[in-house]
């Protein structure tokens, strides 16, 4: 048994005892509810309409709900803030855990609002520290190992246990079905729950998971080295559209439809040297040093560490200009996350200089100090699968933040631990062409994973193709390793004219992970 899973039975008993021994309570009376290592600071009924959270903008169009806020303090130097929102009436019996992006640090008020509008009860946590939303800031972790543990796994688990207990106390009946759906770091949290606390949730959706945290952020610094390690190797944002145009020219039509999207980058063998400048430098071409840097970005630091970037996600908002190259050297989000991680978590040195980074030493040190607390890479999900849990993974093929090949690797590792029938009974992976990190991008990027998951858990109907849409175009997202192929007639903007098929040679060999 994973050592993190030892307290989970106690947590389940706490929730069951509270739900089983209390009649339905008023919202305000929940302030007197006693839960282990927990102080409830707020229990108030919020009238239907608009609500102004402690941080952020007012939220409108809300039903009446019971808002419970508190802190969990399991050990010294751990103070986990959380909130639980419960519909005052019309509850559907479901509970949703809400994840966090980046280095976390805030309550997800908009996600709580969306949940109560659906009739769900939901809980969110700041994971034990407070930082400005959207800032890659890990300074809170410096010399605070317990806060790193809270961020890594403890806060999400504790919030699930306490949240379900509070909902059960309010209604006088236990939660019927518990779900978790989040992306990026939230996808890592999702997989941490599946591997370490399989009783917490019945259905888990993990989008673009940052589950191989130590190697992902090592790879981010490898990207920086590739871009800045040689004179003239940095690729400015102005050249990214030319790279994406060349990739599309080489591979857009491989799936039989020319639509501005590389449907399956694993089958695209784009050669960066085709962009080599034949005369003066220009935004439409690359120097020899830049061609070499581009090859490195696609290949990555090696399969032992982390896969490289997929072709096709270079341009546009949310692409490489945000995550990989940045608007200027040392200004990308990948650089910010990587340096913050090594400075404040791995080396515990606020003055650490990334220019001293050594790949082999860095990844070894990161694994030694942080893998246990931050990586959700244990592929043995048998306890979760055999208790009836369901897991959906999804990842955008144009994700510039986290290589989509990482999700394929994880899926294959989990499947290798089980028989094919067991895998099919609890696990699905959906690769989304043209979708960037957790959304956006040129491909159909709007899709609902909640409904297919709920249908699977509650009715036993496993998900098949899931329709994604964008600006009048729809396409099926296919259960991996199947891919969508146009039937040869009808509009290529209509999902009904596509079918999910096995790619040629898929049974014989795994897909290529990088370009040339």
From the candidates 399, 403, 474, 515, which is the catalytic residue? 399
Nearest-angstrom CA–CA distance, 291 and 320? 15
Nearest-angstrom CA–CA distance, 150 and 347? 19
Nearest-angstrom CA–CA distance, 457 and 371? 31
Nearest-angstrom CA–CA distance, 492 and 474? 9
Helix (H, G, I), strand (E, B) or coil at 206: strand
From the candidates 124, 182, 184, 219, which is the catalytic residue? 184
| Segment holding 17, helix H or strand E | helix 8-21
Nearest-angstrom CA–CA distance, 210 and 184? 5
Measured at the CA of 396, the angle between CA 389 and CA 127, to 5 degrees, comes to 55
- Sequence-ordered list of residues with C-beta below 8 angstroms from that of 57, at least 6 positions apart, any chain: none
Whose tokens are 């592929």? That residue is 379
| Segment holding 125, helix H or strand E | strand 121-125
Residue 495 CA neighbour count, 13 Å, CB half: 18
On whether the CB atoms of residues 18 and 175 are closer than 8 A, the answer is no
* 399: annotated active-site residue: yes
From the candidates 266, 407, 437, 474, which is the catalytic residue? 437
* 344: annotated active-site residue: no
Which residue from 322, 317, 314 is spatially nearest to 241, judged by alpha carbons?
314
On whether the CB atoms of residues 259 and 251 are closer than 8 A, the answer is no
Nearest-angstrom CA–CA distance, 87 and 92? 9
Residue 325 CA neighbour count, 13 Å, CB half: 26
Distances (CA, A) of 267 to 143, 240, 297: 45, 21, 17
Instruction: Please identify every residue annotated as catalytic.
Output: 184, 399, 437
């Amino acid at each position: 048994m994973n050592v993190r899973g030892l307290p989970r039975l106690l947590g389940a008993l706490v929730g069951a005892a509270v739900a089983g021994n209390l009649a339905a309570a008023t919202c305000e009376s929940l302030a007197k509810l006693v839960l282990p290592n927990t102080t409830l600071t707020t229990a108030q009924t919020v009238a239907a309409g608009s609500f102004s959270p402690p941080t952020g903008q007012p939220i409108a169009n809300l039903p009446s709900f019971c808002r419970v806020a508190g802190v969990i303090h399991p050990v010294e130097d751990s103070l986990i803030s959380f909130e639980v929102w419960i519909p005052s009436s019309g509850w559907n019996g479901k509970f949703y855990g809400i994840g966090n992006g980046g280095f976390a640090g805030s309550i997800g008020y908009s996600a709580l609002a969306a949940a109560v509008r659906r009739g769900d009860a939901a809980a969110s946590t700041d994971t034990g520290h407070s930082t400005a939303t959207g800032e890659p800031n890990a300074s809170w972790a410096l010399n605070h190992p317990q806060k790193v543990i809270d961020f890594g796994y403890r806060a999400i688990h504790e919030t699930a246990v306490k949240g379900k207990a509070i909902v059960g106390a309010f209604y006088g009946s236990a939660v019927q079905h518990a779900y978790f759906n989040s992306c990026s770091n939230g996808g890592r949290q999702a997989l941490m729950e599946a591997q370490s606390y399989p009783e917490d949730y019945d259905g888990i959706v993990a989008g673009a998971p940052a589950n191989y945290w130590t190697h992902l952020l090592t790879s981010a610094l490898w990207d920086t080295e590739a871009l800045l390690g040689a004179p003239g190797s940095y690729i400015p944002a102005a050249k990214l559209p030319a790279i994406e145009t060349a990739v599309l020219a080489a591979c857009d039509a491989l799936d039989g439809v020319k639509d501005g999207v590389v449907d399956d980058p694993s089958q695209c063998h784009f050669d960066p040297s085709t962009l080599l400048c034949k005369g003066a430098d220009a935004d439409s071409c690359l120097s020899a040093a830049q061609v070499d840097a581009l090859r490195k970005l696609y290949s990555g630091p090696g399969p032992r560490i982390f896969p490289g970037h997929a072709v096709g996600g270079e341009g546009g908002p949310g692409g490489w200009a945000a995550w990989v190259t940045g608007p200027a050297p040392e200004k990308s989000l990948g650089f910010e996350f990587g340096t913050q991680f090594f400075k404040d978590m791995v080396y515990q040195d606020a003055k650490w200089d990334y220019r001293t980074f050594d790949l082999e030493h860095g990844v070894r040190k990161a694994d030694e100090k942080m893998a246990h607390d931050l990586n959700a890479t244990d592929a043995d999900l048998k306890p979760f699968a055999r208790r009836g849990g369901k897991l959906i993974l999804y990842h955008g093929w144009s994700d510039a933040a986290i290589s989509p090949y990482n999700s394929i690797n994880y899926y294959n590792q989990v499947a290798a631990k089980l028989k094919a029938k067991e895998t099919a009974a609890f696990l699905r992976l959906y690769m989304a062409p043209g979708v960037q990190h957790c959304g956006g991008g040129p491909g159909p990027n709007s899709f609902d994973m909640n409904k297919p998951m709920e249908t699977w858990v509650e009715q036993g109907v496993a998900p098949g193709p899931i329709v994604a849409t964008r600006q009048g175009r729809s396409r099926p997202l296919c259960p991996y390793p199947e891919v969508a192929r146009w039937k040869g007639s009808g509009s290529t903007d209509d999902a009904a004219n596509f079918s999910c098929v096995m790619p040629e040679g898929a049974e014989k060999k795994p897909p290529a992970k990088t370009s040339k």
